[in-house]
Amino acid sequence: MEDKDLLSIADARRLLAAASAAAPGLASLSQEGIDAILDAMQAAALPHAEDWARLARDETGFGNVPDKTRKNLFVIVDVHRFIRPMRTVGVLSEDHDRRLIEIAAPAGIVAAIVPTTNPTSTVINKIFIALKAACPIVISPHPNAKACVQEVAAVLERAARGAGAPAGSIGCMTEVSIEGTRELMKHRLTGIILATGGTGLVRAAYSSGKPAYGVGPGNVPSYVDRSADVTKAARDIVAGKTFDNGVLCSAENAVVADSPIDRALVEAMRGEGAAFLEAPEIEALERVVVTPAGSLNTAVVGRDAATIASMAGFPVAPGTRCLVARLDRVGPEAPLSREKLSPILAYYVEDGWEAACARCLEILAYGGMGHTMSLHARDRDVIMKFALGKPVFRIVVNSPAAVGAVGVTTGVDPSMTLGCGALGGNITSDNITPRHLVNVKRLAFELRPYTRGEAVPEPPPRPPREAAPALPAAPTRFPDRESLRALILAAAGRHGVISPAGSASGESAGPRTAASRTEAPPPPKAATRAGPVPFVSEADVRAALLEGRRIAISRKTIVTPSARDLGEAHHVFVEG
């Protein structure tokens, strides 16, 4: 009998040995030699973009051929165009003033884990950036996407070898198992890991003892402000949610609508093919999307809206592109508030950007910290205030989140591998490029001689201080306590120390006016919030201190480090 785990482990070791033999030759190539290999791989891939999309669709059952073709072309054309000019070999820079020379050094053999949702575009991306960084690569495909990934790797390997890459520079496992993948990640010859997949796999990559770039889950909220172009917002949201049937982790998962534009947004989304479900349909959909154990049912992943509706037992109109469920809660009790990897949207209505901000924080905390969110607004003040406090590292403005986050419609670095930063348990918040696979040596020449026992030179004298401006004359009558508090809050609001509302409650401040953006309104009466807040910043704590109230928090509340230090020092927090 064959032991599949042993065969997979042996396969990983064989490919790593071949990659190790190839590494010195690959590292010895000039920048011109590396770029010739990259160009040859691009030329070989270009005619196959649609064929590979069809292979992936047929093997996995996820997504659709046109959108998978677009993803393949995005990597083959746009990623290639972005990384082609990068200096990744030899001397990177020389600083004559500091007498410092920076020299590239490959990070080593790349262990690349490829998912079933975006297999061909992801493997093209990883092969391109690895070879551009002069790193051999060994690929472990998802078992349900093995054939299409092996086909891509074989074509690119032939092209690379024909352009001068040593044999073994690109390897792909044919015997795939969890144990084989673990061996690939932990093996002494592996230099660095590029892991794209489920949470468990990414955690395994980080616990392997090797440097790793992992991609966490995305539960992307999309806020539509009252200042938005509602027609365009609806078009972008439905386009992003339905792109390749929603399998991108950067795809929109929930809409948070500002209440004044709720009806207009619903009608605009219906015009784009969104079906808003009734309560019985939502309940039926929940039973299909989430298993009794609380996990995502993979049978719905990457399927079209009509197929999913049929699985749930209700019909939808012809031309329906996505299913929308109105919700008022986030968490396990609202199964559709999680990442769904399919054309299904949760839909929330909140009054004002502050309340919407709190709702988006809830959604991100339920899965998606550090990943992506989108924002549709024309009020720049709202855009900046909304964005500054969000625990994500890609905020896509007035564009579909699904493709904006990877760089199709925005100026972020184009990539199919998106870091989620420390908030998402990742080492970087960047879109991964060849720069992340190149280590830098620094050749440092002496700037000043060192003599043993030499006294430390005295620091240069400080310039004399300018005379302090005269203080204004004291008022003849000191203001009363309430007037003083109002003056402090108004000044703090003007300088951005606290939010204009002066509150950590996240409740709406009502319609915005020019006056409300320049001067804070009078603070509410001091009181403790009835329930725990989802997010607390340092500004929220300062506002609570000024107002003489406490902030209710729970174990799920996200508290920034500076807010926790200040709040605990002044006993501001209460368990809610």
CA proximity to 89, closest of 133, 125, 143: 133
Whether 280 and 290 have beta carbons less than 8 Å apart is answered as no
**Kind of pairing between the strands at 535-536 and 109-114:** unpaired
The torsion region of residue 244 among left (phi > 0), alpha (psi -120 to 50) and beta comes to left
Angstrom distance (rounded) from CA 137 to CA 126: 8
Whether 359 and 221 have beta carbons less than 8 Å apart is answered as yes
Alpha-carbon distances, residue 3 vs 9, 150, 168 (angstroms): 10, 21, 25
Say whether 357 is catalytic.
Answer: no
Angstrom distance (rounded) from CA 208 to CA 182: 8
Q: Which of 249, 357, 360, 420 is catalytic?
A: 249
Determine how many CB atoms are found less than 10 A away from the CB of residue 311. Answer: 17
Helices and strands counted in the chain (H then E)? 20, 19
Angstrom distance (rounded) from CA 394 to CA 402: 11
What's the one-letter identity of residue 214?
G
- What are 114's two structure tokens? 């490829």
Task: Please return the burial class of 5, using the count of CB atoms within 10 Å of its CB with bins 0-12, 13-18 and 19+.
Answer: middle
CA angle 278, 283, 284 (to 5 degrees): 100
Task: Please return the burial class of 101, using the count of CB atoms within 10 Å of its CB with bins 0-12, 13-18 and 19+.
Answer: middle
Catalytic site residues?
249
